[in-house]
Structure 1
Amino acid sequence: MTPTATAAAQECIFCAIARHEAEASVVHEDESVVAFMDRYPVTPGHLLVVPRRHAVGLEDLDKITGGQVWAVAHDLARTLRRSTFHPEGINLFLCDGEAAFQTVPHLHLHVIPRYTGDGWTVENLPKTLDRDRQRLDEDAQQIRAVSAHRTGGHPPGA
């Protein structure tokens, strides 16, 4: 870690939770991730899954740890469905960057039990862009070009 990253991790509440230096109601921990109850839940049972190693966003997260974050969230979503919370649905919600409503500068995946009429919404969710097929194909080409450059000419997963 760079000196700046080390300083950020020392001041980060999620890093402090991962180090057992701050209070949290932990439901899972392993060598790479910690999951705990959100201090300000939008519904009962709302959990956060965070990597132990400080990572501000997806760009800072290695694939193995990222996979573990999602695997733990998946397992906890199943667990919530079988628990006394009995959610009717689950949202997995990740905010990467301030423009995406990230409020704590440490990557965290929300696992949110959902209930009909629970009152929590994602503002403007129904609002979408109207993109014709040509524009969607152009957008896809741009993403494929950057991906091929990043992976040395191989598409992701190849």
Structure 2
Amino acid sequence: MSDDTIFGKIARGEMDADIVYENERIVAFRDINPQAPTHVLIIPRKSIPTLNDIEPDDASLMGELFLAAKEVARLEGLSESGYRVVMNCGEGAGQSVFHVHLHVMGGRKLKWPPG
């Protein structure tokens, strides 16, 4: 499994990003092409290409991604006004970087369905 994606490089500290939160297993940074006033990507440091590649041993790591989303929302002032958390799986769903990641978006009224 290759981790030679832009997100793998960010996770390893080989590429700069506007990091808003991190710990030993997770990195959260601002999206360079934001779709909302606040748009943060949350990635595991472990390289997992898609949701389809998650294994049972990754369960706690996936839970940590969502705990990080909650913390990012708090840090960005979105907890009260609301925010969206999205994970795309595969090209047909809009995944363009094949390293599992959550999008945390907010700061404006978000429409449903998203598109």
User: For this structure pair, what is the TM-score category when the shorter chain's length is used for normalisation?
Assistant: 0.7 to 0.9
Cα 1:46–1:119 shift into 2, 3 Å: same
Residue 121 of structure 1 deviates from its aligned partner by 6.6
Alignment TM-score, normalising by the size of structure 1? 0.64
SS at match of 1:46: strand
Whether the 8 Å contact between 2:50 and 2:89 is mirrored in structure 1 is: yes
Number of equivalences: 112
Residue 119 of structure 1 deviates from its aligned partner by 8.1
Matches for 1:35-50 after TM superposition, within 5 Å: 35-50=28-43
Percent identical: 35
The one-letter code matched in structure 2 to 1:122 is: P
> Match for residue 63 of structure 1?
59
Larger radius of gyration: 1
Kindly indicate which of the two structures has a greater share of residues assigned to strand. 2
Residue 58 of structure 1 deviates from its aligned partner by 2.0
> Match for residue 78 of structure 1?
74
Alignment TM-score, normalising by the size of structure 2? 0.85
Cα 1:49–1:28 shift into 2, 3 Å: same
Q: Tell me, which stretches of 5 or more residues in structure 1 are unaligned?
A: 124-158
Kindly indicate which of the two structures has a greater share of residues assigned to helix. 1
> Match for residue 122 of structure 1?
114
Whether the 8 Å contact between 2:37 and 2:108 is mirrored in structure 1 is: no
